């Protein structure tokens, strides 16, 4: 078979592990030809191909990013995009397409499956918000980076008697904020799933600093917002492409806390640092498992499915059940973060 492969949306550590697994398993076990598309769905529309062999994936396992490049482009949202994809797949004589991506890329994959393309998807996102899988490629590395940052912030916060705000990614779901906040021992964790009350934060900080501590750490997801009817009015700041403006909620919290408490407060925005660098062993292993499972599924004639981690097992779930859904942080995990304040 000739099988297409693309990575779409934001890059994450562990993508190259998945690409490597697809190529090694597909070529070595099944004798398939793997054809990569550069820059996600844009490459499929443009016919920008890159044949992938074992030589191309040598030494990529510990490398972050994606050797294929990526882009935020969805063919179903572009005039003639779906027809262009179908024309490219026909011209390249591809019998199936493996798509590695987050919610946007997977939604596009489901649209192409509806158009008759044999699709197998692999979930990746540092936000860990793809529905149907316990974990996505890139999440573990992002949490590791964020936890290390919180650990480092502790010493400077205590030395200067400051409130330190660490802003992490997470527009619709606060997985990074919640898990890194718990692992790093943050006093306050703010996630999109639980809108906050700035007056409760004010009272907590004043009590903590008066009773037993001279510093506090707050981890906030970029998509966190105050609860309706509370004292702080804030609307999420977005850029021209709908992306959240980095640092917006962190800076607003800083201003509110300083004005309300008088405590010296600083902000650290981790931003794209969470996406970059060497993938953790967990993401290398997960990417490898998903890659093998995806090419096995293609070889078995499976279509319109996504690889998913369920407990200790990698399973296939219907793509139509996944597309357009968000996996939120469960209340139990948010409660743990709150209980450890």
Annotation-wise, does 105 bind a ligand? yes
Annotation-wise, does 222 bind a ligand? yes
Annotation-wise, does 266 bind a ligand? yes
Annotation-wise, does 300 bind a ligand? no
Annotation-wise, does 274 bind a ligand? yes
296 part of the active site:
no
3-state secondary structure the chain: CEEEEEECCCCCCCHHHHHHHHHHHHHHHHCCEEEEECCHHHHHHHCCEEEECCCCCCCCCCCCCCCCCCCCCCHHHCCCHHHHHHHHHHHCCCCEEEEEECHHHHHHHHHHHHCCCCEEEEEECCCCCECCCCCCECHHHHHHHHHHHHHHHHHHHHHHCCEEEEEECCCCCCHHHHHHHHHHCCCEEECCCCCECHHHHHHHHHHHHHHCCCCEEEEEECCCCECCCCCCCCCCCECCCCCECCCHHHHHHHHHHHHHHCCCEEEEECHHHHCCCCCCHHHHHHHHHHHHHHHHHHHCCCCCEEEEEECCEEEEEEHHHHCCCECCCCHHHHHHHHHCC
Annotation-wise, does 126 bind a ligand? yes
Annotation-wise, does 65 bind a ligand? no
List, as one string, the DSSP characters of 108-128. Answer: HHHHHHHTT--EEEEEB-TT-
Annotation-wise, does 125 bind a ligand? yes
Annotation-wise, does 72 bind a ligand? yes
Annotation-wise, does 127 bind a ligand? yes
Annotation-wise, does 160 bind a ligand? no
Annotation-wise, does 132 bind a ligand? no
What whole-number distance in Å separates Cα of residue 64 and Cα of residue 69?
Answer: 11
Annotation-wise, does 40 bind a ligand? no
Annotation-wise, does 141 bind a ligand? no
Annotation-wise, does 32 bind a ligand? no
Annotation-wise, does 58 bind a ligand? no
Annotation-wise, does 336 bind a ligand? no
Choosing from 48, 79, 127, 197, the catalytic residue is: 127
Annotation-wise, does 38 bind a ligand? no
What whole-number distance in Å separates Cα of residue 111 and Cα of residue 81?
Answer: 11
Q: Label residue 235 exposed, middle or buried (CB < 10 Å: 0-12, 13-18, 19+).
A: exposed
Annotation-wise, does 200 bind a ligand? no
Tokens of 68: 């294929």
* Pairing of β 119-123 and β 305-310: parallel
* Binding-site sequence positions: 10, 72-73, 102-105, 125-127, 162, 169-171, 222, 266, 272-275
* Binding-site sequence positions for ATP: 10, 72-73, 102-105
* Binding-site sequence positions for Mg(2+): 103
Q: Hey, which residues are catalytic here?
A: 127
């Amino acid at each position: 078979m000739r099988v297409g492969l693309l990575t779409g949306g934001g890059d994450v550590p562990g993508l190259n592990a998945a690409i490597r697994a697809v190529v090694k398993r597909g070529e070595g076990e099944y004798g398939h030809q793997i054809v990569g598309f550069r820059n996600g769905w844009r490459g499929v529309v443009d016919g920008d191909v890159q044949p992938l062999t074992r030589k191309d994936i040598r030494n990529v396992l510990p490398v972050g990013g994606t050797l294929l490049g990526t882009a935020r482009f969805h063919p179903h949202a572009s005039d003639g995009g779906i027809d262009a994809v179908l024309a490219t797949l026909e011209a390249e004589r591809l019998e199936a397409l493996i798509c590695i991506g987050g919610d946007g890329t997977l939604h596009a994959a489901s649209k192409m499956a509806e158009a008759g393309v044999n699709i197998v998807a692999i979930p990746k996102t540092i936000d860990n918000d793809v529905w149907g899988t316990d974990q996505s490629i890139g999440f573990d590395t992002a949490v590791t980076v964020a936890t290390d940052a919180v650990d480092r912030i502790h010493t400077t916060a205590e030395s200067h008697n400051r409130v330190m705000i660490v802003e992490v990614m997470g527009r619709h779901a606060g997985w990074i904020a919640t898990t890194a906040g718990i692992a790093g021992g943050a006093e306050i964790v703010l996630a999109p799933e639980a809108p906050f009350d700035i007056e409760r934060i004010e009272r907590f900080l004043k009590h903590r600093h008066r009773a037993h501590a001279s510093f506090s750490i707050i981890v906030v997801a970029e998509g966190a917002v105050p609860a309706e009817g509370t004292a702080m009015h804030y609307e999420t700041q977005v850029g021209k492409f709908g992306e959240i403006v980095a640092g917006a909620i962190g800076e607003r919290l800083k201003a509110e806390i300083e004005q309300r408490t008088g405590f010296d407060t600083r902000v650290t925005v981790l931003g794209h640092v969470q996406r970059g660098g060497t993938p953790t062993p967990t993401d290398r292993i997960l990417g490898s498992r998903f890659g093998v499972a995806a090419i096995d599924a293609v070889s078995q004639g499976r279509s319109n499915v996504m690889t998913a981690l369920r407990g200790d097992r990698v399973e296939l779930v219907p793509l139509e059940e996944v597309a357009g859904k968000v996996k939120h942080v469960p209340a139990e995990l948010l409660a743990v973060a709150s209980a450890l304040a």
